[in-house]
Amino acid sequence: MIETNIKSASTPIAQRVSRVLLLTRLSVFVAMMIWVIDKFVQPDHTAAVFKAFYGVSGVTTGLVYILGTLQLIIMVGFLLGYQKRITYGLVLLMHTASTLVSFPKYLAPFESGNILFYAAWPMLAACFALYYLRDLDTRAVL
């Protein structure tokens, strides 16, 4: 019964939840778009990240542009709330991978700026919340 009431856009709780989810979606979009833009502005940085964190060397500029384009398409779909199961799921998977691959940084938080990596955890929770509550995310969606 409560779930039905929450899904109804006319209830006060549904309106509050949809506002929170919209703001969460916008903030995750902004944070992740910086990484997408970085692929086009500094493709060498992306290649260095792949080598340092994923153990993949030889990533070419062309491949970085392809990855950036794919991520851009996903992020625009995410921003618009298009195919939420797919786009929100892909955003969650991308951020989960980048959070977990950084695990060694969490073991030495006070070395060389590693403390910034901890910001990934609340964002991961936000990505999970958006995916889990995607049916309640009803504002500014296609």
Establish if 32 belongs to a structural domain: yes
Establish if 75 belongs to a structural domain: yes
Establish if 29 belongs to a structural domain: yes
Describe the crossing of helices 84-101 and 12-41 by its angle, rounded to 10 degrees: 60
Establish if 57 belongs to a structural domain: yes
Q: Domain range for residue 92?
A: 2-136
Which phi-psi region, left, alpha or beta, contains residue 81 (left: φ > 0; alpha: ψ -120 to 50)?
left
What value does the mean pLDDT take over residues 57-64?
Answer: 96
- CA distance linking residue 115 with residue 121, whole number of Å: 12
User: Count of domains in the chain?
Assistant: 1
* pLDDT, position 112: 86
End-to-end CA distance of the chain: 27
Residues 81-139: pLDDT tens digits?
A: 999 999 999 999 999 999 999 999 999 989 888 899 999 999 999 999 999 999 999 99
pTM score, whole prediction: 0.88
Residue 1 banded pLDDT, cuts 50, 70, 90: very low
DSSP for residue 55: -
Write out the two tokens for 66: 């392809």
Establish if 141 belongs to a structural domain: no
Q: How large a percentage of the chain has pLDDT more than 90?
A: 85
Establish if 81 belongs to a structural domain: yes
- CA distance linking residue 5 with residue 15, whole number of Å: 11
